[in-house]
Structure 1
């Protein structure tokens, strides 16, 4: 018998002063049996940092043809494809062909650096791809916020972001931009 996903609920308040985006979101997050709290919370942070009206969680790990998050237009065309982790260059290239914009958020400290060196030459040619690497301890700190029912607040101001809850101090979400889109 296959293990089922664990369902998490989050009320997320976003105040993104850089993009002038202020909204409350009620999220239902399916955590795949093989997924860690850290990875799930990086997905939540990615949602908070890129939130727009139609951004949503996809099947992610449950479907190899879908990203962790995506935004589709009203016709169903993919506008934004967001991957969390360290996908191989073929997956990134495929996403680049299917979507207007691709964002990869790598985490894991030293392993992210090694991953980036392995895919860099092929990914840098893709014009619509952005790659971020989270700070060394960000994913672990975000993982500590994970609860089955969460009330989270995300604040973004002057290129800095924090994600926190009423029960825990805000976690600074620090990242390094490894690649920006060619038109940036």
Structure 2
């Protein structure tokens, strides 16, 4: 018998001062058996830091899919924001950049290695794609604090992320890297 996904619930209080987004919402995250804790935590951060009307988790990143891990659709169903997690290949970024108005990548990996891997590859509108990363150990600390039921408070201000997860207080700068 196949092992099913682990469902994690999150009650989120978000104060993204940099974007003027202040929301409270509930999330259900399905962690596929092959998904690492670091990938899940980064996917959760990306969802929160990109939060807007129409945001949803996609099928991407877990299996081969024509969807990213997180995406935003407008009222017509068109993908407007393509959000990749981890270390997507250049071809996925190229595809997403042609399909959506904006592409972002959130990673728990070494951003210098990713930028090097994408260097010289054909990526549509590469200069507009933003790669975001966090201080070493930040994502691992989130993984250690995550449970099946979670209470999260996220505050982003002046490029700094403050997170409280189930009573554990963490912080990291949100590092931004450009492809082009």
TM-score normalized with structure 2 length = 0.89
Distance in 1 separating the partners of 2:158 and 2:128: 24
Distance in 2 separating the partners of 1:2 and 1:62: 16
Q: 1:66 to 1:2 in 2, by over 3 A?
A: farther
TM-aligned CA deviation for residue 44 of structure 1: 0.9
Q: What SS does the corresponding residue of 2:101 show, helix, strand or coil?
A: strand
Distance in 2 separating the partners of 1:100 and 1:127: 13
TM-aligned CA deviation for residue 34 of structure 1: 0.8
Q: 1:121 to 1:138 in 2, by over 3 A?
A: farther
Structure 2 counterpart of 1:104: 105
Distance in 2 separating the partners of 1:20 and 1:78: 22
Structure 2 counterpart of 1:152: 152
TM-aligned CA deviation for residue 172 of structure 1: 1.3
Q: Runs of 5+ in structure 2 lacking a partner?
A: none
Distance in 1 separating the partners of 2:124 and 2:95: 14
Is the Cα contact below 8 Å between 1:138 and 1:174 reproduced in 2? no
Could you list the structure 1 runs, at least 4 aligned residues long, displaced by more than 3 angstroms after superposition: none
Is the Cα contact below 8 Å between 1:13 and 1:23 reproduced in 2? yes
Aligned residues, how many? 178
Distance in 1 separating the partners of 2:150 and 2:96: 31
Distance in 2 separating the partners of 1:19 and 1:91: 27
TM-aligned CA deviation for residue 82 of structure 1: 0.7
